[in-house]
């Protein structure tokens, strides 16, 4: 989908902390205590990097079993 650059705000400052089940898991600078995700192809994801094109969504939007899986994998890291 084409993004209208004139009305788009600056990208949210995010940091990728993991890649799980086809999703880049990240934290946002403005909300570092919560986890966010975006479905991005693995070749475009680097752990520790800022994803300029990401549209972070809270993991609470995912099914509860997937949320638990993500959180359990992040506890290991």
| pLDDT for the residue 2 | 46
C-alpha–C-alpha distance, residues 54 and 35, integer Å: 14
The residue written with tokens 């990728």 in the block is: 16
The residue written with tokens 């680097």 in the block is: 46
pLDDT digits (tens, 9 = 90+) for 26-36: 999 999 999 99
Nearest CA-CA partner of 59 in 27, 29, 14, 13: 27
Question: Global pTM?
Answer: 0.83
Three-state DSSP at 40 gives coil
DSSP classification of residue 10: P
| pLDDT for the residue 77 | 72
Cα Rg of the chain (Å, integer):
13
Strand partners, 58: 36
| pLDDT for the residue 7 | 59
Name the average pLDDT for the chain. 89
């Amino acid at each position: 989908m084409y993004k209208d650059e004139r009305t788009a705000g600056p990208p949210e400052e995010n940091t990728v902390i993991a890649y799980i089940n086809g999703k880049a898991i990240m934290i946002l600078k403005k909300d570092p205590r919560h986890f966010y995700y975006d479905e991005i192809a693995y070749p475009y994801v680097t752990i520790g990097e800022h994803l300029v094109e990401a549209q972070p969504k809270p993991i609470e939007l995912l099914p509860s079993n997937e949320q638990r899986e993500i959180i359990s994998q992040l506890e290991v890291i």
